[in-house]
Structures are given as structure tokens and as C-alpha cells.
Amino acid sequence: MTLRTRKLIGTIATVVFLILYALIAMMIGGILIVGRGVPLELPFYLVAGLGWLPVAMWIIRWMSKPE
């Protein structure tokens, strides 16, 4: 697979993943977390806000591999 093809697939995968991740995080936050107070909301938003990074880093690392 060429580098150009990998970058196209990786870009599409990243965008789709981020959209799905954001929707799922909003759903979980809206159902389970909102209104329960800062001691529960703050850790959730920290984890949810940074939780997408490992997957995005893996996709970018895969996209950048030499041919």
C-alpha cells in the first residue's frame, strides 16, 4: 500500500472515529454524569477528553509508516 493511500484511509478513519467517539462520550456523559456534581464530572471530562488520543496516535503512526 502506498503512503498516499494509507494517508487517505487514515484520515477518513480518524474523522469517523472522532465523530463516533464524541457522540458516544456525549451520550454517556448526558445519561450518567451530568448533574452529579463536580467530583464526578471533572474526572469524566478529563478521561473522555483525552481518551481519543491513543487511538488517534496509533492511526497516525500507521499512516506515517514508510512504504
Give the integer Cα–Cα distance in Å for 56 and 63.
Answer: 10
The pTM of this model reads 0.85
Mean pLDDT of 36-57: 94
Over residues 23-40, mean pLDDT: 93
Average pLDDT over residues 29-49: 93
59, 10 Cβ separation under 8 angstroms: yes
* Contact by Cβ (8 Å): 3, 66: yes
Per-residue pLDDT of 8-26, as tens digits, reads 999 999 999 999 999 999 9
